[in-house]
Amino acid sequence: MNNKIILRAENISKGYGNSRVLDLERLEIYRGETLCILGPNGAGKSTLVRILNLVEEPDSGDVWFDGARVGHRDVQARRRMAGVFQRPHMLKGTVYGNVAYGLRLRRLPAAEVAGRVEKALWALGISHLAGHDARTLSGGEAQRVALARATIIRPELLFLDEPAANLDPLARRNFHRDLRAIVGGGGMTAVYVSHSVEEAMAAGDRLAVMKDGRLVQIGPCEEVYQSPASDFVARFLGAEEAEGAEGAEGSAAADDARPGHVVRLHKLKADG
């Protein structure tokens, strides 16, 4: 990871009907990092990622990609991004055709398409599935195909919205292993959304913790985990109050960051 900002969001707000689901002052994503966005259900994580991925337009605020202001109609910017989601949609046809889809849209030479698809399938251990009907795959197989399809176009930004949520533990570990190898080896920047602390610790360089549509803490994974800025972050990450802090959980200030507040953390084992 370096200190160059590849994506910046400022003053982002989004609501549906009378419900405000996102109110983000500022978020910066650095080139080459994997940023994990963590929070409970309803925290606004998926809405934020759809806006950052230029799939959805905010009610207000700006997104800047590689120094230029962009929006959901910016086709050229969107072609430099890709996504993998919780329930990947498999196109009709073979696994090979699904993985080759983005390259063919870009009208790459057939020989280059074949070479890159073969390499992507091999890297993810799914070469044997090349001729299979993509709609008959298991959950773990479909996620690997989706990861190959997203990364084969060599995006600068890869968005992953709870991609391992429906996988069994072994498939989840394998997915995280493959993700780390591909993102790291390809020099990509990744934004990984999860509500699982274990997944975030396994996948990320930095953690961004969200609550009620707001960003409540961001920093390197170990720093956030060892020094939660509020009782909410501590509880969400699996902390328990240290001696002398009893009763704070029910107080009006329970979710406010307090200088000198001490928490003791349970040991977590990162998945993978």
Q: pLDDT tens-digit profile of 54-64?
A: 999 999 999 99
Condensed to tens digits (0 to 9), the pLDDT of residues 21-38 reads: 999 999 999 999 999 999
* pLDDT higher than threshold 90 for residue 118: yes
- Counting residues of the chain whose pLDDT is more than 90, the rounded percentage is 65
pLDDT at 235: 93
Where residue 252 falls among pLDDT bands split at 50, 70, 90? very low
Higher model confidence: residue 183 or residue 28?
Answer: 28
Angle, nearest 10°, between helix axes 110-123 and 139-151?
A: 140
pLDDT band at 93 (very low <50, low <70, confident <90, very high): very high
Does residue 261 have a pLDDT over 90?
no
Is residue 161 within 8 Å of residue 86, measured between CB atoms?
yes
* pLDDT tier for residue 1 given thresholds of 50, 70 and 90: low
Of residues 85 and 103, more confidence is placed in 103
Where is pLDDT greater, at 240 or 199?
Answer: 199
Stretch 69-88: mean pLDDT: 91
Q: Is the pLDDT of residue 200 over 50?
A: yes
The pLDDT of residue 207 = 95
> How do strand 81-85 and strand 68-70 relate by DSSP bridges?
unpaired
| Structural contact between residues 95 and 136, judged by C-beta atoms closer than 8 angstroms | no
pLDDT at residue 42 tops 80: yes
Tokens linked to 225: 């985990």
pLDDT exceeds 50 at position 271: no
Q: What is the per-residue pLDDT for 2?
A: 65
Average pLDDT, the chain: 85
pLDDT surpasses 80 at 267? no
pLDDT at 19 over 60: yes
CA 49 – CA 29 distance, rounded (Å): 12
The arrangement of strands across the sheet holding 34-38 comes to: 81-85, 157-161, 189-194, 34-38, 206-211, 214-220
Residue 85 has what pLDDT?
85
CB atoms within 10 A of CB 87: 14
Residue 253's pLDDT band (cuts 50, 70, 90): very low
Distance, CA of 39 to CA of 113 (rounded, Å)? 38
First to last CA, the chain: 21
pTM here is 0.81
